[in-house]
Amino acid sequence: MDDRYAALCFQILLELLHRVPVANMEPGTQCKILICSLRGLHNLLTATKIMPSENLGPLLAGIRVFMFHGLPGAPVAVPESLYPTPLSQYDPSPSSPTKSEPQTNDSSAKSGGVKKYKKKKAKKGAETNRNTTSKSPQEREENENDETEMTRAKAAEAVSSRPNWAKISSSESEYSDTEGGQTSRLRSLHAKVRQCALACLHTTIKSINKRVMFGYWSSFIPDSTAAGNSPQVHTLFTVILKDPSPKCRMGALAALTALIDGTKTLLATADDSDQKFATFVPFSAVLGSTIRELHRCLLLALVSENIPLTLTQLIKCVSTLITNVPYSRMRPGLLSRVVKQIRNFISYRDPNVRVACLTCLGAVAAIQPPLMEVCHIIQSGRPHSQTSVSRDTNPHLSGDSGISSGNQSNCSPNAEAGMMEEVKDIQNSSPGMGSPMGSSSGVQTPVFSDMSLQASAHSVSWLVKLCVRNILPSVGENGEHTEPLPVRLESLQVLAHLGKGYFPIIRNSLPVLQDLILKCYADPDPVIRLHTSKLVDDLTQALQREVQARDATDSSGRLTLQQVTDFWISLLSIAIANILQSEPNCAVKATTCDCASNIGPEVYAALPIDKRVLCITLILGLTSDEDKIVRSSALRTIGVFVLFPCLREDVCFVADAANAILMSMEDTCLNVHFKTAWSLANPCDALVLNKIDGDNDFMNDFSDMLLQKLFSTSIKACQDSDKVKSNAVRALGNILRYLPIRSLGKSSFRTSVEDGVKALIKNISSGTMKVI
């Protein structure tokens, strides 16, 4: 379909949505017209992605009314348009400059329209009474029969809009089977209208720029507790909390999730301070209030929802909210209440709900900057003195580790909730967390410091126990039980988030994680092995930072170099060696190769000689692997290794690394080409460092022929794309700096020096900032 025809269809359906008669039409017919209009708009938005700016306000106005269709107290009149909040910094379409009133005017117009309608009804009733007194008894009887029928019809419509819990049973109903069937059918049509409106809203949100849609938040999300509790204010939470149809609730949650997703930068200015504003309320304070109301309403929905599919969507919505909210600017307590409710569902019978819970917990563990509130949530649900488990008594998964032998959690959902009940809100339970920092605007939730956690991070976190229990098979009365694959993968993802952002909390769980990693690397499922490698990647980066920080700050409570070395020895002995040699899945092999680059110079120097030789031999071999992803990962790892002090002084290894890199510079795969260019500069860095250290033996032994190849390759790479140039000029500069005096006596080197200087001058005059 041409765009002009699609736009014409869109305009016709939009006008029909606004002009469908509310009165003088049979309700079933009206619902069918609305369903077709909303479906047509939804299909057009999905297929064509057309959304003229002048149509956004009218479309949202129609959707906002009909997503409450049939609910008690739902708005009746459709306003001409919705308008963005003035504080959203988005200008409405210039096509309707006279209609720039805020949304509050629309709601008042709607309420005014309803009152006018009621007055007309009342006046009509008075006229009816006057006419009745002047009519004959027979006519009065006929009128009474008509009024009885009208009353029954109105009662049927009222019952159709009543929630499920308020409806009387069929045995108590005054309607006949036929009337009950009509009522049920009308109720179903009302729900279908709401469902189509919410689906159209979801597609509209997906089609519109986040910043533009942000201006309409106040029309769909309450910005204060008073607004959320007011019966006159209808928002998405009206559907989420009160709609009797699970499909409508799920549609509202999907729309809310889309509305929140991708708004992290827009919510970054939120301010949740206790400061009282006398003259005006700044937009940052409105955002803070909106965020708190979002949490409050979603937590209410978690308490009341019992349909697994809707519950899954609800928890996903909570996860999206957690990902986008700047909790460092909010008062403490929001996350604690969320996790308290989520823990009620971590052993839910439906695996989709359990996966959603783990996604939500992973979102909490991924919050940056790391917050003290999150640290207390991760560490324990009870006072530390009650949950302390020493590593000597619990080195692996036994006893009090929380890893049960059956296929269920040691704690039922109720027991898990009971553990959380023992911990009050962070403001009350944690020393120094009773109030925000200085009770002023700005950073509200304190960011943790490693020193403050040393006294409390002695036990294995309940979250680590939960994830390990989900990942590993367990043996019970009915034999071995393994959780569904999505549950296992999400548990590995949660552990990866913990290792990346909150390693001090799980530092003493390293033996448990080491045992888990070794078992997962032996798992027959390649997806498990891949996610295990991702966990190892994040965990080993944290271990590398741990080793590097020992000399910079107080090392009390940190892992020793020997502990980290032992961890690497256990991995290199079997798991990593087997994967790098015989793993059929290329993604697993490439990710494991990236893990090897996280060893760090201190740990590598402390490894036994056989493990060091094994490591560099396997990685050098993978630089010529058939798979391009494996080659690029191996080349990057070689580029890291060549700067280790114990390896950069080894002439043989530097020569082998340089030859492997030079062979890959002609690779046709762009990813391999870029990674090789980065690695090319690192051997040249190593040459300069050796010269600075005065290592004359190295300079005398390093081949002039290989140096000439590095020189010419770097000059050629300076004419490549910017990503390659930025590393090529670094390599070229280092080579010029390293050149021994004996090499300058050779004509080939003198020519290369001239060409190299010309290449540098050319890039200085025309290159990007990174190249210069």
Residue type present at position 480: E
Q: Which of 345, 489, 481, 322 is nearest to 417 (CA)?
A: 345
Q: What per-residue confidence (pLDDT) applies to 134?
A: 43
Q: Per-residue pLDDT averaged across 669-683, rounded?
A: 90
Q: Please, which pLDDT band fits residue 554 given cuts at 50, 70 and 90?
A: low
What are the tens digits of pLDDT across the range 620-657?
999 999 999 999 999 999 999 999 999 999 999 999 99
Looking at the predicted structure, is the pLDDT value of residue 442 above 70?
A: no
Give the residue, 232 or 1, on which the prediction is more confident.
Answer: 1
Looking at the predicted structure, is the pLDDT value of residue 472 above 50?
A: yes
Q: Please, which pLDDT band fits residue 720 given cuts at 50, 70 and 90?
A: confident
Q: How do beta strands 479-481 and 474-476 pair? A: antiparallel
What are the tens digits of pLDDT across the range 175-212?
345 667 788 899 999 999 999 999 999 999 998 899 99
Q: Cα separation of 629 and 585, whole Å?
A: 11
Looking at the predicted structure, is the pLDDT value of residue 156 above 60?
A: no
Residue ranges in 305-371 assigned as alpha helix (H): 308-324, 334-342, 351-365
Q: Cα separation of 474 and 486, whole Å?
A: 17
371: helix, coil or strand?
Answer: strand
Burial of residue 479 (number of CB atoms within 10 Å: 0-12, 13-18, 19+) = exposed
Cβ contact 565:610 at 8 Å: no
**First-to-last C-alpha distance (Å) of the chain:** 50
Q: Per-residue pLDDT averaged across 392-413, rounded?
A: 31
What are the tens digits of pLDDT across the range 112-135?
333 333 334 444 444 444 444 444
Q: What per-residue confidence (pLDDT) applies to 449?
A: 52
Q: What per-residue confidence (pLDDT) applies to 448?
A: 53
Cβ contact 374:330 at 8 Å: no
What are the tens digits of pLDDT across the range 292-311?
999 999 999 999 999 999 99
Q: Which of 353, 377, 381 is nearest to 366 (CA)?
A: 377
Q: What per-residue confidence (pLDDT) applies to 319?
A: 97
Match 């992605």 to its residue by tokens. Answer: 49
Q: What per-residue confidence (pLDDT) applies to 104?
A: 38
User: Which are the contacts of 480, defined by CB distance < 8 A and separation ≥ 6?
Assistant: 473, 474
Cβ contact 458:388 at 8 Å: yes
Q: Cα separation of 308 and 656, whole Å?
A: 58
Q: Cα separation of 293 and 132, whole Å?
A: 53
**pTM, two decimal places:** 0.77
Count each helix (H run) and each strand (E run) in the chain, helices first.
Answer: 39, 2
Looking at the predicted structure, is the pLDDT value of residue 513 above 90?
A: yes
User: Which are the contacts of 251, defined by CB distance < 8 A and separation ≥ 6?
Assistant: 194, 195, 198, 199, 202, 239
Tell me the two tokens of residue 414.
Answer: 């109720």
Q: Does residue 383 have a cis peptide bond before it, meaning omega lies within 30 degrees of 0?
A: no
Cβ contact 224:292 at 8 Å: no
Cβ contact 397:515 at 8 Å: yes
Looking at the predicted structure, is the pLDDT value of residue 219 above 70?
A: yes
Match 């290989």 to its residue by tokens. Answer: 706
Q: Please, which pLDDT band fits residue 441 given cuts at 50, 70 and 90?
A: very low
